[in-house]
Structure 1
Amino acid sequence: MPRPVKCRRVEFFPKDTYFIPLGKGKWEVEEIELKFEEVEAMRLKDIEGLSQEECAERMEVSRQTFQNIIDSARNKVAKALTEGKAIHITGGNYISSSCQFKCLSCGKIYDFNQQKYNCPKCGNSERVCKKKNRLCHKRPEK
């Protein structure tokens, strides 16, 4: 049985998530899905100019995992550019500082930064990650 995928920390979410070659309609072109963590890897390495070790640390993964993520991202972008395919940025296995939780007691949805550990409405510490709909044991930073 394969190991479960560890979530990667993503700090940046692009406003535009769909790119299509000029002159082609959305239904006329094949698309390639680029995960949010792949965009984050390219941003950290290629735009911010961080070392592979620094990038891996920021994304909370090993250097080898970071290298696998960025290799996959670059391959997908190169394929889209050379073969005239659309790029759709969506999905992935990630966590972010804008993570939202749902309180198991009262059902209130609250942001990661809004409250340190407990639900702001009832004070309960049991919560599920809204994105993954499973128990969240993550401790927000102070």
Structure 2
Amino acid sequence: MGRPKIPRIICGQPADSCFKPNGIPMTQLEQVSLNPDEFEALRLVDLQGMQQQQAAVEMQVSRQTLANLVKSGRKKMVDCLANGKALMTHRG
């Protein structure tokens, strides 16, 4: 049994719930889910330009947890861009 997940502070929301390649029906696309905490980590670090330590404080997680969220979020985004998959986002 794993450790209970510590609540994370999530302030940003994605503009839309899905980003997909043009001209391909959703039924033909593989979907990748971007979690709210991954979105928030990417928003703080990549969009707002925060240092990871500062973003970790903002989200109330360790710097290592923040780094893991950024890494997994970036991997999912690049997978979608490189392989033509739909990126699904969920509001926190």
**TM-score bracket for this pair, using the shorter chain length:** over 0.9
Q: Give the match for residue 53 of structure 1.
A: 53
Q: Which runs of 4+ in 1 moved over 4 A?
A: none
* Structure 2 unmatched runs, 5+: none
Q: Does 1:41 align with 2:37?
A: no
Letter of the structure 2 residue corresponding to residue 79 of structure 1: D
The answer to which structure has the higher strand fraction is: 1
Task: Measure how far apart 1:15 and its partner are.
Answer: 2.9
Partner Cα separation in structure 1 for residue 85 and residue 33 of structure 2: 10
Mapped partners of 1:34, 1:54: distance in 2: 22
Q: Name 1:5's counterpart in structure 2.
A: 5
Point out where structure 1 has 5 or more consecutive residues left out of the alignment. Answer: 95-142
CA distance in 1, matches of 2:88, 2:28: 14
User: Computing the radius of gyration over CA atoms, which structure comes out larger, 1 or 2?
Assistant: 1
Q: Distance in 2 between matches of 1:90 and 1:27?
A: 19
Which protein, 1 or 2, shows the higher relative CO under an 8 Å CA cutoff with sep ≥ 6? 2
**Number of residue pairs matched by the alignment:** 92
- Root-mean-square deviation (CA), in Å? 1.2
Higher helix share: 2
TM-score normalized by structure 1? 0.62
Q: Which residue pairs with 1:69 in the alignment? A: 69
Separation in 1, partners of 2:9, 2:87: 22
Report which stretch shifted further, 78-87 or 9-18.
9-18
TM-score by length of 2: 0.94
Greater displacement, 5-14 / 80-89: 5-14
Name 2:81's counterpart in structure 1: 81
The Cα shift of 1:29 comes to 0.5
